[in-house]
Amino acid sequence: MNGVDLARHLRERAAGHGFTLFGIAPATEADGFDRFAGWLDAGYAGEMDYLEQKRDRRRHPASILPSVRSVVMLGFPYGQTSPIHPHSGTKVAQYALGPDYHRYLWDKLNDLAKWIEAESPGCRAKGAADSAPLLERDFARRAGLGWFGKNTMLIDKQRGSFFFLAALLTSVELPVSTPHVASHCGSCTACLDACPTRAFPEPGVLDARKCISYLTIELRGRIPLELREPMGGWLFGCDICQDVCPWNRKEKLGAFPTNSELAELDPVELLSLDDAEFRRRFRGTAFFRTKRTGLLRNAAIVLGNTGTATAISALELARQDDDEVIRDAAEWALTRLRQRLAMS
C-alpha cells in the first residue's frame, strides 16, 4: 500500500476510534522548542520538574521513536458544558469526568500502531498522549489541526478547543497536511480577561504557577494564600478560559465517556475519605493524580469559598487531619467561611 492510500485508510480507522481531527506533520524538530525552553527558563512551569528533566527530548520526536519520519496528529473531543453541583457550586474540569484519558487514548493508539505495522511490514509505530516528551501542539498546528489561542490552547474552527491531542509516530513517510498558519482570535481577549487568578502574563503565555488547573492538580503542597479565594468552586482543574472562548459557543459533545458521579462530588463528604477509600474510588480517573492530600486540600478551599454552615463540622474534623497540607487548608477555609457567613 502506498503512502497516500495508507494515510487514507489510517484516517478512516482513526475516525472509527472517535478521533474527529486528523493530520500529518513531518518528523522534524519542533517549531516551538525555543519558545518552550524560554518558558521553562522563566520559571512558569512551577513544580512540574518533569518538564525540565525531559526538556531536550522534546526538541525532536526521534527521542520517542528514533526511526520516525511522520507524526500523525489526532484530536479526540469531549463534552464541554461545565457541570456545577446544585448544592455546593463545586466545579470539575470536563476532561476529568470520565476515565483517565491517558489509558483511554493509549488503547486506541496501540490499535492504530499495530494496524499500520501490519499494513506496512517492517515499519515501526508508537503512540503518544500527553505523557511522552513531545510538543503536541506544535505538531498539531503543523498537521493543520488548528492554531494557538491566546490562552495557549489549540483551537479548531469546528471543534473549538475541547479535545484531547494524541500522536502516532511512525517510520513510514506519509503525505503531510497543510500547516495551519493563521490565527483566528483577532482582538478578542475573553480568555485572558476571564481568568480569576491572572495566569496569563501576556497573550499566548501561561504562568502555570497561577493557573487553577496547576494549583488543584500539579501543586503538591499548600496553595498560595492570595490564590485561594480566586479559585472559587473549582475542585479539580479549570475550564474558564475555554468556556468563554467564542469558538466554543456551540455545544459539541464528544464520544468520551463520562461518569455523572464525578460531576457531583460533595466536598463535605470528600473530607471524610481516608487513603484507602480515596484509592478505591478514584483509581483509574484523573483525580488519582492529586492523591488524597491534594483532593482534600482542594475540597476544603472550595468549602471556604462556596460552602454553607453545614460544612463547619467537616472542616473542624479536617483541621485535625494527620496531613499538614489538609490541616492548613481546613484552617483557612473555616476562617473564610465564617467571614462569609458573618457578612450574609
pLDDT at 186: 97
Among 137, 170, 203, the domain boundary falls at 170
Annotated active-site residue 130? The verdict is yes
Instruction: Report how many domains make up the chain.
Output: 2
pLDDT on residue 67: 98
Q: What angle do CA 177, 179, 182 make, to 5 degrees?
A: 145
Give percent of the chain above pLDDT 90.
90
pLDDT for res 255 = 80
| pTM score | 0.94
Residue 177 lies in a domain: no
Q: What is the pLDDT of residues 170-189, one digit of tens each?
A: 999 999 999 999 999 999 99
pLDDT at 1 over 80: no
In a domain, 87, yes or no: no
Residue 90 maps to a domain: no
**Is it the case that residue 30 has pLDDT exceeding 80?**
yes
Picking from 153, 170, 187, the residue at the C-terminal end of a domain is 170
Report the mean per-residue pLDDT for the chain.
94
Q: What is the pLDDT of residue 107?
A: 95
Residue 49 lies in a domain: yes
Domain that holds residue 104: 3-79+96-170
Find the CATH number of the domain harbouring 322: 1.25.10
Domain identity same for 142 and 275 = no
Q: Are residues 275 and 164 in the same domain?
A: no
Judged on CB neighbours under 10 Å (0-12, 13-18, 19+), 236 is buried
91 found inside a domain: no
Mean pLDDT value of segment 69-97: 81
Q: How confident is the model at residue 229 (pLDDT cuts 50, 70, 90)?
A: very high
Q: What is the pLDDT of residue 132?
A: 93
Domain boundary among 122, 140, 170: 170
pLDDT in tens, 38-65: 999 999 999 999 999 999 999 999 999 9
What three-state secondary structure class fits 57? helix
Q: What is the pLDDT of residue 87?
A: 46
Residue 190, in any domain of the structure: no
> DSSP E strands: which ranges in the chain?
21-26, 70-77, 91-92, 125-128, 147-148, 154-155, 163-170, 234-236
In a domain, 254, yes or no: no
Q: Give the residue among 243, 301, 240, 245 at the shortest CA–CA distance from 270.
A: 301
Whole-number pLDDT of residue 250: 79
Task: Write out 249-295 in H/E/C secondary structure.
Answer: CCCCCCCCCCCHHHHCCCHHHHCCCCHHHHHHHHCCEHHHHHHHHHH
Instruction: Tell me which of 5, 31, 107, 130 is the catalytic residue.
Output: 130
At 88 the pLDDT is 59
